[in-house]
Amino acid sequence: MTGLRYVYAICRPFSTPLQSQLTGVAGAPPKQLPHGDLVAIVSNVPEEDFSEEALRAHLEDLDWLSATARAHQSVIDALTVVTSPLPLRLATVFRDDSGVRMMMQEREEQFLQTLDRLEGRVEWGVKVYVENAGADAEEEQPEDSDKPLSGRDYLRRRRKQRTAHEDRWVHAEEFSRRLHGTLSEYAEDHRVHAPQNAALSGVSGANVLNAAYLVPRSESEAFVELVDRTKDDAPGIRVELTGPWAAYSFSGEPVGVPEGEGE
Amino acid sequence: MTVVERREIALVDLLDRLLAGGVVITGDITLRIADVDLVRIDLNALISSVNEQVPSPWEEP
């Protein structure tokens, strides 16, 4: 068979078939590649797009990256329905099936351990935003705005605006800390991602918390309710929930580093 | 406070996971794109197109 092998995830063997119309990153259907007690989910990808050099160029092309990421995700999503997959990093590509098998052989023990840890678990994403973090200062217009302000009044007003702005941030950070504390206590594990840049996410407000929580599937409903219940009289704060995801953020201890398996 | 549940997955949320999460395989394989992150990606291109729907050539499940 020609082409390279793109690997999406490592799983325990599962009997439920994947959706028949499911396609992978280059349009080919994903298939199971069993080895020992594990199964790799792979699909064929053309060498001209997935060789190292081609990949580096492609990954800087947002349309390509986006389509590839979404295709990768749709395979992981389909797997999540039938098992608890251990997702691999985007664009993990091998020369051929035997390369994939060799990798599975070498890392079998760690894969099995991680799969045990993730069995029946899903990831939930929670983000906290401060709404209009920069714009709130504009709201306070003086009553009689046609009257010229004295220098002192001007400074006083500026100070007031700045204080209101800082208060909002302090409040949002406090809110995030509390929410994160509550959620991490409930979840089995958590990861804090870097806050998202508003220009990249295209959503309003400044992102103060961007965290992921590992939760047993059976506890998911309660977890979502917990997020909901943290309702608090907190004007200007928005909480966004995403998921359930496969446990992407919790499979990440670099398997290739022998002693690096942290918590 | 308002809680928003997004139905459609935002690209940034996806990239947080696909480029920062997932098992990183190191060793004697052909490729490893583990060190790619948003820094490598042209920020301007990303900003200008991030709100456009990028049509996927593959069917959504």
Long-range residue pairs from A216-224, CB within 8 A, at least 24 positions apart, any chain: A216/A120, A216/A121, A216/A122, A216/A188, A217/A120, A217/A121, A217/A122, A217/A244, A218/A120, A219/A186, A220/A122, A220/A124, A220/A244, A222/A186, A223/A124, A223/A183, A223/A186, A223/A187, A224/A124
Contact B6 A240 (CB under 8 A): yes
- For chain A, residues classed under CATH 3.30.70 are 122-249
Contact B50 A62 (CB under 8 A): yes
- Is the whole-model pTM more than 0.90? no
A56 versus A72: the higher-pLDDT residue is A72
Q: Which of A10, A19, A88 lies at the smallest CB-CB distance from B61?
A: A19
Contact B23 A251 (CB under 8 A): yes
For B55, the closest chain A residue by CA position comes to: A67
For the ranges A89-98, A182-191, A254-263, the one whose mean pLDDT is highest: A182-191
Q: Which of A66, A114, A208 is the best substitution to test chain B (most B C-beta atoms within 10 A)?
A: A66
Is B12 in the A-facing interface, judged by CB distances under 8 Å?
Answer: yes
Partners of residue B23 in chain A, C-beta under 8 Å: 10, 86-89, 92, 114, 251-252, 255
**Which residue from A116, A23, A73 is spatially nearest to B17, judged by alpha carbons?**
A73
Q: What is the CA radius of gyration of chain A?
A: 24
| Distance in Å from the first CA to the final CA of chain A | 40
- Mean pLDDT estimate for chain B: 55
Mean pLDDT of B19-34: 61
Please state, in angstroms and rounded to a whole number, the distance separating the CA atoms of residues A160 and A165: 9
**Which residue from B13, B18, B47 is spatially nearest to A127, judged by alpha carbons?**
B13
Partners of residue B14 in chain A, C-beta under 8 Å: 69-70, 73
Please state, in angstroms and rounded to a whole number, the distance separating the CA atoms of residues A255 and A247: 15
Residue B47 three-state SS = helix
ipTM surpassing 0.85: no
Q: What is the pLDDT of residues A28-56, one digit of tens each?
A: 999 999 999 999 999 999 989 988 778 87
The pairing of beta strand B2-5 with beta strand A121-130: unpaired
Please state, in angstroms and rounded to a whole number, the distance separating the CA atoms of residues A161 and A138: 8
Q: pLDDT band at A133, cuts 50/70/90?
A: low
Is B53 in the A-facing interface, judged by CB distances under 8 Å?
Answer: no
Mean pLDDT of B51-58: 39
Q: How many CB atoms lie within 10 A of CB A109?
A: 8
Is A59 in the B-facing interface, judged by CB distances under 8 Å?
Answer: yes
Partners of residue B30 in chain A, C-beta under 8 Å: 4, 52, 93-95, 99
Contact A248 B22 (CB under 8 A): yes
Residue B4 three-state SS = strand
Res B59 pLDDT > 80:
no
pLDDT value, residue A258? 43
Token duo for residue A123: 């990831």
pLDDT value, residue B46? 47
pLDDT value, residue B24? 78
Distance from the Cα of B55 to chain A's closest Cα (Å) equals 8
Please state, in angstroms and rounded to a whole number, the distance separating the CA atoms of residues A196 and A206: 8
Range with lowest mean pLDDT among A16-20, A131-135, A225-229:
A131-135
What residues contact residue A27 under an 8 Å CB cut-off, 6+ apart? B57, B58
Token duo for residue A263: 């918590």
Please say whether the structural domain A122-249 has been given the CATH code 3.30.70.
Answer: yes
Distance from the Cα of B52 to chain A's closest Cα (Å) equals 10
Q: List Cα–Cα distances, A122 to A169, A191, A222, B4, in angstroms.
A: 31, 13, 13, 19
